[in-house]
Structure 1
Amino acid sequence: MRFGMGIILIYALPMSLPITVVCGLSRSATMSAGRDLLAGRSAARLVAHCLDQLQVGLVSRSVTDAQGQVEAALIELVHDCVSCTLREDVLPTLMRMAADPDVDAVVLVLPEAVEPIGFLENFMLVTDQHGRTTSDVCHVEAVVTVANPPELVPTLSSDETLIDRGLHVGDEDDRGIADLLAGQLECADLVVAPAATAQERALLQLLNPEATIVEQAPPRLEPIFNFARTTARTSPAHIDHLAETCRIDDAWRVQWRSHRPLHPLRLYEALEVIADVALRGKGYFRIASRPEVVVEWDSVGGQLRLGAPATEVSSQEAQLQFVGLSDRAYAISDVLDAAQLTDAELAAPTSIDISESDPFRDIWRSAGLEAEED
């Protein structure tokens, strides 16, 4: 700022440390991508946490630069909670590095079982004892997901859990491996997909149209992360940003819309067809047994979650979108059309007495979607 008499005041603006987040189901692949991102950057650091010693209550942290390891530590589990432990170690580690003048960038490799959206929410929102968030002194430049293209379809259609793969972070961690992979892919700004076929690239593009797909992690990335946009595209009920029905090579996206509620018994019968045809499903709808509430649809392969949307949905219209590869995309619209209420049922809604025989009744109750009269 310049004043009279030739006096100049210079304000030293606080620097923000750039962070690149790397995730994926293979530790060797994510570490390799992390090293690619670190290459040739003498002042950058790669931070990685390993969960191999969870059984003895420990998490290990390593910090390396272009020359090799510069820091190693063992962290005791906090409250037997991996998420709590990582939150209480990763965030302070990043803030400490932000204050180190010898560090100008960090590549953070997340453990395989960690969902990137959970880390990002902590990064942006969790405060320390001084009321600061990590995002006050650091900024995420990009989220990079490392995929194994030949395993995309088998994993997304798998009913395996993290326990089956040995990736669980606790005895009660019953998350599905397909659900974890879908979350990693949809959170990504950049997807590393080595030697992907045209079909595999098309599938990745439909799962996350905003991501750039590359063969190898580049040594440098332009800042492309946007928290609001990432949160939106990882929300199952937020599908407005997705193109409607389309096909890329052998992959497709089908959008189904209707102003009619779905009949719960007929929807239940349709689920087997949908699970057999679609790899990913998102959106929201209304059910005839509870027409006053909006139900969120979140499916990966044969796994389906129904519940209350995390974000407000004001539309009275049902919108469901599905991504898949089979040649039976038409079957999804067929079974959903057949599941919606008929003209006769709409004309006489009191004749539809299905509240007691609703196969989803327990789901509505656990999700807080009970009808007012129940």
Structure 2
Amino acid sequence: MATAERRPSLVVVAGLAADAAEQVADRMCGPATAVIHHDLRLITQGVVRRRLRAYGADVTTAVELAHGCVSCTLREDLLPLVRRLVDDARLSRIVLHLDPVLEPEAVCWALHHVLVDDRPILDDVQMAGVLTVVDERTWLDDAAGDEALAERGRTASIDDERTVAQVLVGQVEFADALVRAHTAEEPWTAARTAAVFDRLAPTAPRAALADLDVDALLARVPAAARRGTVDDAHGPLLRGQPPLDSDCGVHTVLFQERRPFHPGRLHEAIDVLLDGVIRTRARLWLATRPAETLWLESAGGGLRVAPAGPWLAASDAEAWAAASAERQAAAALRWDAVYGDRVQEFVVITHRADPEEICAALRDALLTDAELAEGAEAWQRYDDPFGAWHSDPCEDDDTGRDGTDVVVVERKDER
């Protein structure tokens, strides 16, 4: 166990720009640093190639897994290896250089919550930050698209249906600092990409790879940065006070209402979140599911919906006591005598979509006055196209959301 006097720092390097991310990891190699990388290209065959650079050696090992999935890689190999390195007094820094298709949020969730030798890894390290490497030449187009990872020959499991946009946006949104591998050739593209970054990761300092000083960049990460902290579905939808005004055609759209959605009309309206939109994060209240919060997030043309546990209004005293102080305070501030803490909350980052059209489409999906008057019993007879959740026995909910079921994932061209 690392002592309070000797806690090695931990740096996570992420990015779909694979070659550039490797260069960032290379720059941190040194006699007191261990750099770990798991290559997932053969994971669907049950094999992961682990590269460990430490103590002046560079060793690549084929790791065979019982199941070809990221969760098994984390639990069976990565976390036990990090635990051994944490306890090695020769090391002052550990670098996790993630496979390009990995989103750092899931890895950090495991570092926070999975017990290794009866305690989580982050109890014994100083989390220096998550560095995400981006290629500004293509980032904006890719983040607004609906190309599947599988179309690029890269997935994290057999049933990985994520889009390139979902990976890129998730990597930037969770970053404590951004490294620009390349600058967009057109000034307008560079300005628009920067405006999106200002809204996705408003507190993250940026540096160019060409003259990168990793330690100097990490020193610029603000004290209030998340540094691997994973919010649950009831955490803040806006982090770091991003700009709310328009810049280069990029908008932050806020939508909040105090009546439930008609599930059928909401399903029909969802396309408005997939055209000209970079990111949506939302908590939903469906008329057919009065007890359950739904979590929705989109990136480009990819959509993800998941159960996020009950509203406090539908919870018992024990659940109230278990809720964070921030959630309790937010619920108390907006409490309604009839609906309790139920509310629709959306944050949408657009780069080509009309904010007014988005708000109008969402507003039209709410129950009308006549439907509200029919009452909750009538609402239960509405068709609910969001369907039933399914569970994958091999993977936990590594996103920090309250529900344990795996999400429904759609792409725009599949709707």
What TM-score do you get using the length of structure 1 for normalisation? Answer: 0.81
- 2:253 aligns with 254
Q: 2:199 aligns with which of 206, 226, 235?
A: 206
- Contact kept, 8 Å, 1:140 with 1:225, in 2: the verdict is no
Is 1:180 aligned to 2:167, yes or no?
yes
Deviation at 1:365, TM superposition (A): 9.2
Question: Structure 1: which amino acid aligns with 2:72?
Answer: C
Unpaired runs of 5+ residues, structure 1, are 1-11, 370-374
After superposition, give the CA deviation of every residue in 1:271-315 in whole Å (9 maximum; x if it has no partner).
223321322111113223334433222122232233322696643
Native 8 Å contact 1:237 1:297 kept in 2 = no
Determine the C-alpha separation between the residues in 2 that align with 1:298 and 1:311.
Answer: 18
User: What code does the residue aligned with 2:213 have?
Assistant: P
Higher Cα Rg: structure 1 or 2? 1
Bigger shift: 349-358 or 321-330? 349-358
Describe how 1:77-226 pairs up with structure 2 within 5 A: 77-128=65-116, 130-193=117-180, 194-196=182-184, 197-216=190-209, 217-220=212-215, 221-222=218-219
Deviation at 1:266, TM superposition (A): 2.6
- The Cα of 1:192 is off from its aligned counterpart by 1.4
Task: Provide the C-alpha distance between the structure 2 equivalents of 1:239 and 1:312, rounded to a whole number of angstroms.
Answer: 16
Alignment match, 1:43: 32
Map 1:59-78 → 2, pairs under 5 A: 59-64=48-53, 69-78=57-66
8 Å CA contact retained: 2:43, 2:69: no
CA shift, 1:333, in A, is 1.0
Contact 1:236 1:282 in 2 (8 A): no
Indicate the larger mover: 275-284 or 53-62: 53-62
Larger mean Cα displacement after TM superposition, 134-143 or 75-84: 75-84
Amino acid at match of 2:369: D
The answer to whether 1:27 aligns with 2:14 is no
**Which amino acid in 1 is paired with 2:67?**
H
Deviation at 1:363, TM superposition (A): 4.4
Give the match for residue 236 of structure 2. Answer: 238
| Structure 1 CA distance for aligned equivalents of residues 243 and 366 of structure 2 | 20
Q: CA deviation at 1:84?
A: 1.3
Deviations 1:226-276, CA, capped at 9 Å, x for gaps: 6687312x8486315455843233211100111122223332332223321
Gaps of 5+ in 2: 185-189, 313-330, 332-340, 392-402, 406-415
Amino acid in structure 1 at the alignment position of 2:108:
L
Local SS of the residue matching 1:289? coil
Amino acid at match of 1:109: H
1:319 to 323, 327, 345: 345
**CA RMSD across the alignment:** 3.2
Contact 2:277-2:353 within 8 A present in 1 as well: no
Q: Does residue 360 of structure 2 align to residue 334 of structure 1?
A: yes
CA distance in 1, matches of 2:127, 2:292: 36
Q: Secondary structure at the match of 1:230?
A: coil
C-alpha change, 1:359 and 1:98, in structure 2 (3 Å) is: closer
CA distance in 2, matches of 1:296, 1:243: 21
Counterpart contact for 1:143–1:225, Cα < 8 Å:
no
Cα 1:71–1:293 shift into 2, 3 Å: closer
- Map Cα deviations across residues 171-210 of structure 1 (whole Å, 9 max, x no partner): 2222332222222112110111232512101101211223
Which residue identity is paired with 1:192?
V
Query: Structure 1 residues 57, 251: closer, same or farther in 2, change over 3 A?
Result: same
Percent identical pairs in the alignment equals 28
Are residues 359 and 172 of structure 1, via their aligned partners in 2, closer, same or farther at CA, if it must alter by over 3 Å? closer
Structure 1 residues 110 and 235, CA gap change in structure 2 (3 angstroms)? farther
Pick closer, same or farther for the CA change 1:162–1:351 going to 2, 3 Å.
Answer: same
Q: Residues 284-323 of structure 1 correspond to what in structure 2 (within 5 A)? A: 284-309=283-308, 314=331, 315-323=341-349
Structure 1 residues 13 and 346: alpha-carbon distance in aligned structure 2, compared to 1, 3 A threshold? closer
Number of corresponding residues: 352
Range with bigger deviation, 201-210 or 214-223: 214-223
Q: State the alpha-carbon separation in 1 of the partners of residues 10 and 199 from structure 2.
A: 27
Distance 1:59 1:229 in 2: 24
Q: Equivalents in 1 of 2:87, 2:291: separation in Å?
A: 52
Partners of 2:404 and 2:10 lie apart in 1 by 38
Give distance in 1, aligned partners of 2:149 and 2:113: 27
Q: Which residue of 2 aligns with 1:17?
A: 8
SS of the aligned residue for 2:282 comes to strand
Distance change >3 Å, CA 85–CA 341, structure 1 → 2:
closer
Return the alpha-carbon distance in structure 2 between the equivalents of residues 72 and 351 of structure 1.
61
For residues 318-350 of structure 1, the C-alpha deviation after alignment (integer angstroms, 9 at most, x for no partner) is 111100111522211121122222333333447
Contact 1:238 1:283 in 2 (8 A): no
Query: How far, CA to CA, are the matches of 2:310 and 2:206 in structure 1?
Result: 28
Q: The residue matched to 1:188 in structure 2 has which SS?
A: coil
Q: Higher relative CO (CA 8 A, sep ≥ 6), structure 1 or 2?
A: 2
